[in-house]
Amino acid sequence: MSFETEIKNDIAVLTVTAGRLDANVAPDLKQAVSDIVDGGISRIMLDLKQVQFMDSSGLGAVISSFKLTGQKGEFVICNMNDAVQEILTLTHMDRLFQIYPNAEEGLQKMCA
């Protein structure tokens, strides 16, 4: 299993437990988010604290996940390391996503 999901105040906290969010894991991320949305939850926090590396396949899966939650949903990211931050910065996706330094702060903002 590359993911763990915990529901907190109608927010799904999806933690990637794999160290690499790459072409091998990306399809599973899209499926995990799809399952959450199909289950009626459209507010998702993606926790990347264990992810040391992300490639363009991983980035594509994150963008897909963001699109899956739709305009009415909410999709935020927390706990990115420098390498993951770099790929979002290079692609300007850091301008699109709500990004928090840790899960606690992210949940606090989402619940406010």
Summarize as ranges the residues that interact with another protein (CB under 8 A): 20, 22-24, 53, 55-57, 59-61, 63-64, 66-67, 71, 82-83, 86-87, 90-93, 95-96
Give the CA-trace dihedral at 27, 88, 106, 110, to 10 degrees.
-80
> Closest distance between another protein and the C-beta of residue 106, in Å?
20
Question: What count of other Cβ atoms lies within 10 Å of the Cβ of residue 27?
Answer: 12
Quickly tell me which residue has 């993606």 as its tokens. Answer: 46
CA distances from 75 to 24, 48, 83 (A): 22, 13, 20
> Closest distance between another protein and the C-beta of residue 82, in Å?
7
Q: Using the minimum distance from each CB to another protein, give the nearer residue, 5 or 64.
A: 64
> Closest distance between another protein and the C-beta of residue 38, in Å?
19
